[in-house]
Amino acid sequence: MSSALYDLIGLAAGVCFILALKGLSHPKTARRGNLIGAFGATVATLVVFLYVTKPADGTPAHSLPLHNLGWILGAIAVGLVIGVPAARKVQMTQMPQLVALFNGVGGGAAALVAIVEYLNLGAEATKAEVIFTVFTVVVGCVSFSGSIITFMKLQELMTTRPVVFPGGRFVIAATLAAVLGVSGWVVAALGTTPLLILAALSLLFGILFVLPVGGADVPIVISLLNAFTGLTVAASGYVLNSTLLIIAGTLVGASGTILTRLMADAMGRSLFGTLFGAFTAKPQDVAAAGEERPVRSGSPDDVAILLNYARRVVIVPGFGLAVAQAQHTVRELADLMISKGIDVAYGIHPVAGRMPGHMNVLLAEANVPYDQLAEMDEVNPTFGQTDVAIVIGANDVVNPAAKTTPGCPIYGMPILEVSNAANVIFLKRSMRPGFAGIENELLYDPKTMLLFGDAKSSLTKVVSALKAL
Amino acid sequence: MEPMAILSIFVLAVFVGFEVVSKVSSTLHTPLMSGANAIHGVILVGAIIVADHSHTNLELGLSLAAIVLATINMVGGFVVTDRMLEMFKGKKKGADQ
């Protein structure tokens, strides 16, 4: 294959990625967009096997097949065996952490590619190539270890609260300074050992960088790390002389940055506050104050009676609903209420679930009609005319502290104003605070009724009680 | 490649990246992030190239690890994005904003 044809096919793959991102931005074309992206990536991968790039150390390109072909195919097979079942079998509730993990391994791959190319180049490397290599290693490693921490937070393998330790800020600042210092050393001295030290320090920095981020802000960090990984791919493209990698990486870097900002806006957070606010935050001492206060708890029958005489009901689903796999039962309840002539809507907070849009995916999975899903701006003005708001496994997205308590981790986040409804029902497993780890005053409000238990079994009981009425 | 040509490609790609996603409803944030995530899996191409260039066992080992990770990123990313978007199908009415 001629080098012009190889480059041309690379360009076509780049165009596929642009069309993919464009398609993914609109609900109608999203699925097709993703398939176009997959097509482009597949073609780009296949073409590499038909064309041998000239090694960077100056030796001429050898003839086909590629060196180490068997090993390469074997490694791809291993990747497929790990990646495909993980992607196919993952529960939709656990999907955000899987995306985080995929992003992390992508960053790790970029860092490894840069390290190998650096070993390969040795003293032949130009200053520019070394600088791009250093960039890729640093950012790729940060993305890798940072994503692993976000994965552990979302999987609840570790605490979801900001992890802040005394002097943490100084440790982070010192690590960053060390990363920058060693980067300079690598550029000046060109050695394998400094590069490996740099990789280790960058991994450490990634961990320290994500630890202080609170659970609710994790999606923003995933999106940011995603953009980072994109940039590392672009930088690898420079070192490997691949236009395709430059285009693809830059596209992801740029669109990822915009997406991160859009997400932060949807959550009412400043990006700066998310990344650096937690550096100064003190761990909230939440549980102590609320533990002993009385709450009003009810039975499924009480809830059914309340619903039976309502004219308008708004269902506010949260992550707890998805954990309990109660999407289908919720739909059953909604259908039953509609058959009784009750006006039913779902109030979807932009960040309900664990990521923006996550809840829409989960409800779509249960075949909830799209026109019953109301976005926050649409549903908030209607709570005044709403008789009952049922909050199922949600907490932070209805927590009035976001409006009333400056300094709490979610302060400034727009919320669903369920407190304006005549009655509020909370379905909760326990009095445990939400993902962000903040006490919710609304639970103690006199018009609030709590129904404790697993969301699915509680809802099933409410459905049968309502049928009996 | 010419530094100027590379810079041009980079700057134009930045603007295209900004443009294509500037107006997206929050419903699609998650699939979009996941799709973009899959796209940077093309680092697989880079990983294959360095595996071909590898001279030592260390280089080969590291580049094979990179191939495994990149394949997981790319293939897993597209598959999981497709699964998410599959949920939205069949609701064409009202689905377009």
Instruction: Return the pLDDT at A277.
Output: 54
- A9 within a domain of the structure (yes/no): no
Residues A407-462 have pLDDT tens digits of 776 777 788 888 889 899 988 887 766 666 677 888 888 888 888 888 888 899 99
Secondary structure percentages of chain B, helix, strand, coil, to 5: 80, 0, 20
- A54 within a domain of the structure (yes/no): no
Using N-to-C axis directions, what is the helix angle for A218-240 and B3-20, rounded to 10°? 150
Q: Which residue has the tokens 């979807």?
A: A348
Task: Single out the residue in A257, A283, A309 at which a domain terminates.
Answer: A283
- Which is more confident, A125 or B69? B69
Task: Single out the residue in A283, A317, A349 at which a domain terminates.
Answer: A283
As a whole number of angstroms, the distance between CA A284 and CA A367 comes to: 39
User: Is B2 an interface residue toward A (CB < 8 Å)?
Assistant: no
A377 is catalytic: no
As a whole number of angstroms, the distance between CA A428 and CA A423 comes to: 16
Of A240, A350, A369, the CB nearest to B49: A240
User: Same structural domain for residues A331 and A278?
Assistant: no
Residue-level pLDDT, tens digit, chain A, 469 residues: 778 888 899 999 999 999 999 999 888 888 999 999 999 999 999 999 988 777 766 677 777 788 888 999 999 999 999 999 999 988 887 888 899 999 999 999 999 999 998 888 877 778 888 899 999 999 999 999 999 999 998 888 887 777 777 777 788 888 889 989 888 888 888 778 888 999 999 999 999 988 888 766 788 889 999 999 999 999 999 888 888 999 999 999 999 999 888 888 777 667 776 666 545 444 444 444 445 577 888 888 889 988 998 999 999 998 788 777 888 899 999 999 999 899 999 998 877 777 777 788 788 878 888 778 888 888 889 988 999 999 988 888 888 888 887 777 677 778 888 888 989 998 888 776 666 667 788 888 888 888 888 888 889 999 999 888 8
User: Same structural domain for residues A175 and A123?
Assistant: yes
Residues 263-292 of A with CB under 8 A from B: 263, 266
User: Same structural domain for residues A318 and A454?
Assistant: yes
User: Same structural domain for residues A269 and A303?
Assistant: no
Instruction: Return the pLDDT at B84.
Output: 86
Q: Letter for the amino acid at B96?
A: D
Instruction: Tell if the CB–CB gap between A365 and B81 is shorter than 8 Å.
Output: no
Distances (CA, A) of A378 to A213, A374, A375, A383: 30, 6, 5, 10
Residues B37-62 have pLDDT tens digits of 999 999 999 999 999 988 889 999 99
Chain A residues near residue B71 by CB distance under 8 angstroms: 75-76, 78-80, 83
Instruction: Return the pLDDT at A434.
Output: 65
β-partners of residue A424 are: A389, A448
Instruction: Return the pLDDT at B40.
Output: 93
With 0-12 / 13-18 / 19 or more C-beta atoms within 10 angstroms meaning exposed / middle / buried, residue A315 is buried
- A210 within a domain of the structure (yes/no): yes
- The widest CA-to-CA distance across chain B, in whole angstroms, is 58
Instruction: Return the pLDDT at A295.
Output: 80
Total beta-carbon pairs less than 8 A apart between chain A and chain B: 380
User: Same structural domain for residues A241 and A171?
Assistant: yes
Instruction: Tell if the CB–CB gap between B10 and A20 is shorter than 8 Å.
Output: no
The ipTM estimated for the assembled molecules is 0.90
* pTM for the full predicted model: 0.81
Instruction: Tell if the CB–CB gap between B73 and A33 is shorter than 8 Å.
Output: no
Instruction: Return the pLDDT at A313.
Output: 93
Instruction: Return the pLDDT at B72.
Output: 96
As a whole number of angstroms, the distance between CA A325 and CA A338 comes to: 22
Instruction: Return the pLDDT at A292.
Output: 58
CATH code for the domain of A431: 3.40.50.1220
Task: Single out the residue in A260, A283, A306 at which a domain terminates.
Answer: A283
- A256 within a domain of the structure (yes/no): yes
Instruction: Tell if the CB–CB gap between B62 and A112 is shorter than 8 Å.
Output: yes
DSSP H helical segments within A25-121, as ranges?
A: 30-48, 69-89, 95-121
CB atoms inside a 10 Å sphere around CB A397: 31
Chain A residues near residue B50 by CB distance under 8 angstroms: 113, 116-117, 120, 240
Residues A322-365 have pLDDT tens digits of 777 888 899 999 999 999 899 999 998 877 777 777 788 788 87
User: Same structural domain for residues A171 and A147?
Assistant: yes
Chain B residues near residue A361 by CB distance under 8 angstroms: 30-31, 84, 87-88
Provide the shortest C-alpha distance from residue A180 to chain B (in Å): 24
- A457 within a domain of the structure (yes/no): yes
Nearest to A207 by CA among A269, A166, A177, A163: A163
**Spatial CB neighbours of A154, under 8 Å, sequence gap ≥ 6:** A94, A96, A97, A100, A160, A218, A354
**Regarding beta strands A343-348 and A373-375, do their DSSP bridges make them parallel or antiparallel, or are they unpaired?**
parallel
Of B39, B45, B74, the CB nearest to A242: B45
3-class secondary-structure state, position A466: helix
As a whole number of angstroms, the distance between CA A175 and CA A396 comes to: 33
Closest chain A residue by Cα to residue B64: A75
3-class secondary-structure state, position A444: helix
Q: Letter for the amino acid at A99?
A: V
Closest chain B residue by Cα to residue A261: B22
Instruction: Tell if the CB–CB gap between B47 and A113 is shorter than 8 Å.
Output: yes
User: Same structural domain for residues A418 and A456?
Assistant: yes
User: Same structural domain for residues A319 and A179?
Assistant: no
3-class secondary-structure state, position A388: strand
Domain range for A165: 94-283
Closest chain B residue by Cα to residue A359: B27
- A49 within a domain of the structure (yes/no): no
**Regarding beta strands A448-452 and A312-317, do their DSSP bridges make them parallel or antiparallel, or are they unpaired?**
unpaired
Q: What phi and psi, each to the nearest 5 degrees, are found at residue A287?
A: -65, -35
Of B21, B33, B89, the CB nearest to A226: B33
* Residues recorded for chain A: 469
Chain A residues near residue B36 by CB distance under 8 angstroms: 21, 24, 226, 230, 251-252, 255-256, 259
User: Same structural domain for residues A127 and A235?
Assistant: yes
Provide the shortest C-alpha distance from residue B33 to chain A (in Å): 7
**Do residues A37 and A13 lie in contact, with contact meaning Cβ atoms separated by under 8 Å?**
no
User: Is A224 an interface residue toward B (CB < 8 Å)?
Assistant: no
User: Same structural domain for residues A416 and A439?
Assistant: yes
Work out how many domains chain A is built from and give that number: 2
User: Same structural domain for residues A179 and A304?
Assistant: no
User: Same structural domain for residues A378 and A414?
Assistant: yes
Instruction: Tell if the CB–CB gap between A238 and B6 is shorter than 8 Å.
Output: yes
